[in-house]
A and B are shown apart, each in its own frame.
Chain A
Amino acid sequence: MKPHFVALAISGILLSVSLCFAQNKTRTEKSPQTIPHDYSELAKAPEKARLRPNPFEKDPDAVIAGQFLFENHCAECHGEAGVGGKKAPSLRAPEVQNASPGTLFWLLTSGVTRKGMPVWSKLPEAQRWQIVRYLKSLGPKSDSATETSNSSRFPSSPPYLRPTINTHLRFGPSSL
């Protein structure tokens, strides 16, 4: 049999199976706001992991670095600014914002592979903590969130270091 035909046949089968698998969890069209998301995985963090402090807690650059990392690796599913989407929950929900940094780090490291979240231990530990630092800086989502300019949020940062998105965010108590 010609390799081209074998290749085409296998590609077709592969693509079909993969697509079916990838799509079968999104049968019902819902807006991100109406999709009930499950945050129960957060409660499964071991106590030792929950209590770990973020070594970048006092590093202001960690928020900016974490945001770049978030945009690269997380925003596709969790949405820009972590507001959530069809595929993944909002990271500005109280369940997430009230979780300890150690809990978020644990979840990021282990993933929830059976529910679609990959393991992110491929990122070095420092970068995972930087993402956690950024997540904690987001604060809870509010409908009355006021427009806050980048310049007021990052007064000490030169313009080229300021993030280019999330200008609609309201920062919570743990922000800069």
Chain B
Amino acid sequence: MLRRFSFLPIPLFLALCFAFFPSPLRAQEKPYIVTYDQFLEEPRSLEVEYFSTVGTQRGGNQFHSYWLELEYGATAWWTTEFYLDAQSTFNDSTVSTGVRWENRFRPLRREHFLNPVLYVEYEHVNGADKLLKEVEGHDVESDFALPNAIARREIKNELELKLILGSNFKGWNISENFLSVKNLAGEPWEFGYAVGASRPLALKAAAKRCNFCPQNFAAGVEIYGGLGNTASFGLQETSQYLAPVVAWNLPSGWTLRASPTFGLNGNSHRFLIRWGIAKEFSGFGDTLGKLFRGRS
């Protein structure tokens, strides 16, 4: 019998965040769902994010996968994130699919035309993982057709390395990610990529507080997919996706993202609808410091 995953602690945690860290404002997020840009979380700020993907599935049941992401700015050059993943497959079950711990480092001190960020992630996930947080190796749609009871028996401990490159040009953000993933059980390195471009609808801020000002909206497009593995590198037998993306950064600190995603080849899911909601708690680290160490 499948053990159902309880999300009960999550609303509890969020309620505590809102109660103890009611700090305002400060959302200026890019609209990407998969692609990482070069920007890190502000120091001592916590961003709580929820992302959701509903996907079509040929030869199986459609699914709804989701993750909770806690993103903390440890320093101005280091951001650390923790993920809790789960999915529900229609006419099947809801299962937890694992946890991830991710770190991003900005090695250069100054802003350049091309800004690198180094990314290291440890994943403890099972075979029922349907997040599509990235596409790697020879990931194909048919991988998702297995019933959860069978798929979740496979446990994977993976190390993921990513090179994130980001540029700003005339208001546009252009970000490129190159990723390699190693299953620590001894499987070959797998590769993937993601590229995104986005721009706020207005570059100049309005001289008033407003929710619907064009500078609060950003739109763009991202494309991502697998690149095979060390044994067979390339675009063959992988899935590829194209996704328009849009974000709404509310002055209250909330960010909403949405992205209809289209599979570009026969190995891809035909259509995914993805969305996310995020709230930033600035000064989280300071508040915790006061709580535990009595500092003002």
A binding-site residues for B, Cβ under 8 Å: 3-4, 6-7, 10-11, 14-15, 17-19, 21-23, 26, 29, 61-62, 64-66, 68-69, 71-73, 76, 87, 109-119, 121-127, 130, 160-161
Q: How far is the CA of A122 from the CA of B199 in the complex (A)?
A: 11
Cross-chain contact A23 with B285 (CB below 8 angstroms): yes
B44 on the interface (CB 8 Å rule)?
yes
B39 on the interface (CB 8 Å rule)?
yes
Question: Which residues does chain B contribute within 8 Å of A3, judged by CB atoms?
Answer: 5, 84, 96, 98-99, 124
What's the minimum C-beta distance from A64 to chain B, rounded to whole angstroms? Answer: 4
B binding-site residues for A, Cβ under 8 Å: 5, 9, 23, 25-26, 28, 30, 37, 39-40, 42-44, 70, 72-78, 80, 82, 84, 96, 98-99, 101, 106, 109-111, 115, 124, 168, 171, 200, 203-209, 215, 251, 282-283, 285-286, 288-289, 292-293, 295-296
Q: Is the interface of B mostly helix, strand, loop or mixed?
A: loop
Cross-chain contact B99 with A124 (CB below 8 angstroms): no
A-B interface contact total, Cβ < 8 Å: 138
In-complex Cβ contact of B207 among A14, A19, A64 (8 A)? A64
In-complex Cβ contact of A65 among B30, B76, B207 (8 A)? B207
Question: Which residues does chain A contribute within 8 Å of B209, judged by CB atoms?
Answer: 68
Question: Which residues does chain A contribute within 8 Å of B43, judged by CB atoms?
Answer: 22, 116, 118
Q: How far is the CA of A117 from the CA of B109 in the complex (A)?
A: 11
Q: Is the interface of A mostly helix, strand, loop or mixed?
A: helix
Question: Which residues does chain B contribute within 8 Å of A6, judged by CB atoms?
Answer: 99, 124
Cross-chain contact B200 with A124 (CB below 8 angstroms): yes
Cross-chain contact B296 with A119 (CB below 8 angstroms): no
Question: Which residues does chain A contribute within 8 Å of B285, judged by CB atoms?
Answer: 18-19, 22-23
In-complex Cβ contact of B205 among A10, A18, A130 (8 A)? A130
Cross-chain contact B203 with A127 (CB below 8 angstroms): yes
Question: Which residues does chain B contribute within 8 Å of A124, judged by CB atoms?
Answer: 171, 200, 203-204, 215
Cross-chain contact B111 with A26 (CB below 8 angstroms): no
A-B pairs with lowest CB-CB distance, top 3:
A22-B285, A61-B207, A64-B207
Cross-chain contact A26 with B207 (CB below 8 angstroms): no
In the complex, what residue of chain A is closest to B293 when comparing beta carbons?
A23
In-complex Cβ contact of A18 among B74, B204, B295 (8 A)? B74
Would A130 and B204 be within 8 Å (CB), given that A10-B82, A21-B75 are in contact? yes
Q: How far is the CA of A17 from the CA of B75 in the complex (A)?
A: 11
In the complex, what residue of chain B is closest to A25 when comparing beta carbons?
B75
In the complex, what residue of chain B is closest to A74 when comparing beta carbons?
B26
In the complex, what residue of chain B is closest to A158 when comparing beta carbons?
B208
What's the minimum C-beta distance from B5 to chain A, rounded to whole angstroms? Answer: 8
Question: Which residues does chain B contribute within 8 Å of A65, judged by CB atoms?
Answer: 204-207
